[in-house]
Amino acid sequence: MITSKVTYLGDLRTGAVHIRSGQSIITDAPPDNNGKGEAFSPTDLVAAATASCMLTIMGILSRKNGLQIEGTEVDIIKVMADNPRRIAELNATVRVPAGTLNEKEKQLLENGARTCPVIMSLSPEIKKQIEFEYV
């Protein structure tokens, strides 16, 4: 089954449609790579997908274990390298409302986030730094 259909729209922009839901997004090349930077770049989507995947796995684990993590946020920084142009680093800060989480529950959530499917699919050459803050 087709997951999405992606079309080149011209001027370094693409449009993607998620087949099952009909939701759509656009991408734009970033200014440092000949683009306008008016939307997520494809590599920005990799960073966003990483953060979304971490939160999704944490959500699954919190649901299974009766934990409350609503409001958890991830700030993610993508660092690019040249020759070849690629993602060199992803640096994430995960801010979790502390609530009543004990150390075992924090460890469960952190391990889940660090081993989410997107992170496990990324090249081992990409440096991944993930920090957790309980606020």
Ordered domains of the chain (ranges, CATH): 4-33 (no CATH), 42-134 (3.30.300.20)
pLDDT for the residue 127: 98
pLDDT for the residue 99: 83
Q: Tell whether the model's pLDDT for residue 98 goes beyond 90.
A: no
pLDDT for the residue 128: 98
- What region, left, alpha or beta, does residue 90 occupy, with left being phi > 0 and alpha being psi -120 to 50 degrees? beta
Enter the pTM of the model: 0.95
- Cα separations in angstroms, 100 against 23, 67, 103, 105: 36, 8, 10, 9
